[in-house]
Structure 1
Amino acid sequence: MKVSGLLRRGFGPALYVLVPLTLYLTGWHTEVLGCAQQALLATGLFQPQLAPASTQPQADYSLPLRTLDGRLTTLAELRGQPILLNLWATWCPPCVAEMPGLQRLHDKLRGQKIALVLLSMDENPEKARRFAVRRGFTMPIYTLAGDVPAVFNTESIPTTYIISPTGTIVARHEGMANYNSPEMLQFLQQLAR
């Protein structure tokens, strides 16, 4: 009895330190938090705000991008179609949480003239590539190949911009959201018309 009570009193509180420390040191804390936040997204409470951006600035198509296989490009390659631009990072749990929904949206958009651009803000592009491979993502993931134009500067990630075919930023959403919704699909398809 004494040993059992000692274990509960001594080891129990230690778990509150050991479990988070272990998750952090192994790098799994982002994945675990991301999974917990995915459960929150599944409730439907975190929908992106599709209200028009207040000033509706023009997108800067010179945004320098690098594909995960190293090809340099810019947002200009996608000019003339709606673009959902999502700024994220592998170390950001809310970003990780919304990725499966973005992948499902990407799957629904196949063959349509609507572009998803998932721009990893990781300093090491290899982290984004390994993350995409490990998760089996097929959506277009890019890394930054230069400076972010001022119109896309943000203090938080994830941040998502929706750009019309004419280059107007018609919506902006900071924070995690579930983009795999009928409303988002309809919104993007209406922009494409």
Structure 2
Amino acid sequence: MRKRVNYSVLFLVSLLFCSPFLGKASTRSVAEGEDNGWTEGYDLSFRDSKNNVLTLNQLKGKVVVINLWATWCPPCLAEMPSLDQLYQDFKSNDRIIILSVDIDGNLSASRKFMAKRKYSLPVYQLNSALPNGLSTTSIPTTIILDKAGKLVIKHVGGMNFGSQKFRKSLLDLSKE
């Protein structure tokens, strides 16, 4: 009985933290010509479980999909299978990079979480603060940058990464 109560409390607490995106998801698209040069002079970086650092400057010329998530977030967990499948389908495309970023920064726990579910998506943590235009208080959040490092979309809330429309848009961005 005590275990059930603990899991119930944990579930309710995670819902409280995830509540901003239980309603309608929000998406911010950037209009053509809008000044979104937040990457100028700012080098956002990520760290993987082997302590390798990856910077946005290293990824110029590639479309970058950044998914911010946590292991305790139900909407994050719901979208994870389609994100992992997206990674599987696009990992051989060197023009599209998918970064799964655990905001808790506990890469050991994240790796165990991914291995237990047999996901092959590599996990990163933030190695620097997100610039104001990308920061968020809600997860999951997906950020897509074009090949020049400019913000294309910031979507707060769960996504279906298996959508053919979404996949076509990524491919189109990678060809521009």
Match of 1:58 among 8, 32, 37: 37
Q: CA deviation at 1:48?
A: 8.5
Q: Which runs of 5+ in 1 are unaligned?
A: 1-14, 34-45
1:68 equivalent to 2:45? Answer no
List per-residue Cα deviations over 1:102-159 (Å, max 9, x = no partner). 0111111132121101111014332222212222221232012232222221121111
Counterpart residue type for residue 187 of structure 1: S
Structure 1 length-normalised TM: 0.72
> Matched residues in 2 for 1:144 and 1:171: separation?
19
The structure in which a higher percent of residues are strand is 2
For 2:78 and 2:120, how far apart are their aligned partners in 1? 16
Q: Distance in 2 between matches of 1:155 and 1:47?
A: 13
Q: Partners in 2 of 1:58 and 1:146 — Cα distance? A: 18
Quick one: which of 96, 109, 119 aligns to 1:127?
A: 109
How large is the Cα RMSD of the aligned pairs?
2.7
Q: 1:84 aligns with which of 65, 77, 88?
A: 65
Cα distance between partner residues in 2 of 1:56 and 1:173: 18
Would the aligned equivalents of 2:99 and 2:124 in 1 still touch at CA under 8 Å?
yes
Q: Is the 8 A contact 1:59 1:151 kept in 2?
A: yes
Q: What percent of counterpart residues are identical?
A: 31
Identify unmatched segments of 5+ residues in structure 2. Answer: 16-23
Greater helix fraction, Structure 1 or Structure 2: 1
- Whole-Å separation in 2 of the counterparts to 1:22 and 1:182: 40
CA 142–57 in structure 1, closer or farther in 2 if over 3 Å, else same: same
Q: Which residue of 1 aligns with 2:21?
A: none
1:102 maps to what in 2? 83
The 5-angstrom pairing of residues 102-181 of structure 1 reads: 102-112=83-93, 113-181=95-163
Q: Which amino acid aligns with 2:169?
A: F
Question: Which of 23, 27, 31 lines up with 2:7 in the alignment?
Answer: 23
Q: Please tell me the residue identity of whatever aligns with 2:131.
A: P
CA distance in 2, matches of 1:52, 1:22: 40
1:180/1:56 CA distance change after superposition, 3 Å: farther
Cα deviation digits, residues 92-111 of structure 1 (max 9, x gap): 11111111110111111132
CA shift for structure 1 position 47 = 8.9
> Aligned partners of 1:184 and 1:140: how far apart in 2?
21
Report the Cα distance in structure 1 between the residues aligned to 2:51 and 2:96, rounded to whole angstroms: 23
Q: Who is 1:43 aligned against?
A: none
How many residues align? The count is 160
SS of aligned partner of 1:85: strand
Amino acid at match of 2:57: A
